[in-house]
Structure 1
């Protein structure tokens, strides 16, 4: 259960309709389990640094665990270029720390995952587990119906697939918003987990809702509590 919630939290809050026009943002979320009387919270932000790089930060907490995730990235001709990635999970169960460095001159990703060395070839388009979320945001805003990303996941580069389903009205704590509904595409012979996301069309496609159903039937729902995009508070109808 803890692992599933942290996975769901890791898909939260994506800004910016165009990768080359990233907007600073902050957002907070609540999470609920339908089968259990438990709740959690998460915060995510994007800010531009003095050196021109962007920092994407994420923090999640619940009764028994916590998670932090930080990526630094640059933008080149609307392509997102990750520079570094840090992930840390604490609390009950197995702790985990991941640190990655993206060396584009040497075309290598190096670092450590749970103390194990990571050394992978780096080609343009490869993303970390945080910056791919911005690429998904950009592609949904651009009107694409299916998306695929190469993501550093452990000691491998995995393919993450998504597809757009429809447009729906979503009732959030900030009001009702019109949102594009997107689902993670998985091989049903490999995983029966389902993940569905809703992005607010009038708010630079900020993620406003996420629903995940695990293979055991447990359901997790994450909802926007409040947010700002480029200094403007998110408000629905």
Structure 2
């Protein structure tokens, strides 16, 4: 390995710039996005995604709320809330606390996890089961993984494989860039890049049409099972703060 003194001034400057860029976290701006959701061709209602930042702590909150259609109310409540609290630093997204409440009187489907990065353990209760799992670098929850993907892309990095806590297991999702295309949306015609998410030994697949010029906002998302599209989300409105 070359010694630092042997490096040319140009290379030294490049290293210094890279170090400076690494020390400053590149983060997505807070936003609110509303999607129309359909399941197997039937309208299921609206889903609102909101990313906010606490100015006092610097922590980020990402949450989803639903406005289900009449038929979908049999399956999901308008009071349902899923939320994650995160830190976003030079090394990416680190979840601190995740929770899900299905909005019903029973708590059997609810969940809550705390990520203790000092002790490297995640603990909590999900669907009535006690959870205690070891943490590992890059580990995400069901919501923070979305912010982690966007943050990686904003930094010019590919998401690659991301470990995720889902219920009482750690699963690994592979994100791969597929193709670029133009798409007509509620916001007008936009240039998108398609990313696909897959998991080994799973028959499910997720697709995201993201807009690089809008901080990789997804204007369309699909969940596919056994080669058939089941759930579709289409962007209806977007506000960035």
- Identify whether the pair has TM-score above 0.5, normalized to the shorter chain: yes
Q: Paired residue for 2:53, among 48, 55, 70?
A: 48
Comparing both chains, which one has the higher relative contact order based on Cα–Cα distances under 8 Å and sequence gaps of 6 or more? 1
Name stretches of at least 5 consecutive residues in structure 2 with no aligned partner: 1-23
Deviations 1:76-110 (A, max 9, x none): 3242111100012256xx95111001111111101
Provide the rounded CA distance (Å) in 2 between the counterparts of 1:122 and 1:34: 36
Provide the TM-score with structure 1 as the length reference: 0.79
Residues of 1 paired with 2:238 and 2:199: CA distance? 30
- 1:197 matched to 2:208? The reply is yes
2:222 and 2:229 in contact (8 A); partners too: no
Corresponding position: 1:176 with 2:189: yes
Aligned residues: 209
Q: 1:120 and 1:42 mapped to 2: Cα distance?
A: 30
For 1:166, the equivalent position in structure 2 comes to: 179
**Deviation digits for residues 142-199 of structure 1 (CA, Å, limit 9, x no counterpart):** 4445611111111121111110001111221121111110111234xx3333321111
Structure 1: stretches of 5+ with no match in the other structure: 1-17, 232-237
Q: Secondary structure at the match of 2:202?
A: coil
In structure 2, how many angstroms separate the alpha carbons of the residues matched to 1:56 and 1:194?
23
1: CA distance, partners of 2:175 / 2:205: 11
CA distance in 2, matches of 1:148, 1:74: 20
Larger radius of gyration: 2
**Structure 1 match to 2:63:** 57
The 5-angstrom pairing of residues 68-147 of structure 1 reads 68-90=81-103, 96-144=109-157, 147=160
Residues 163 and 54 from structure 1, CA distance in 2 versus in 1: closer, same or farther, beyond 3 angstroms? same
Alpha carbons 2:99, 2:112 under 8 Å: kept: yes
CA gap 1:171/1:84 in 2 versus in 1, 3 angstroms:
same
Larger displacement relative to structure 2 (198-207 or 213-222): 213-222
TM-score, normalised with respect to structure 2: 0.78
**Against the structure 1 CA distance between its residues 152 and 77, is the aligned structure 2 distance closer, same or farther, given a 3 Å change threshold?**
same
2-side partners of 1:208 and 1:135: how far apart? 17
Partner Cα distance (1:33, 1:76) in 2: 36
Q: CA offsets per residue over residues 19-53 of structure 1, 9 Å max, x none?
A: 633311111111224543x3310101111112211
Q: After superposition, what is the alpha-carbon deviation per residue over 1:105-147, rounded to whole angstroms, capped at 9, x for unaligned?
A: 1111010011211111123321111111111112334444561
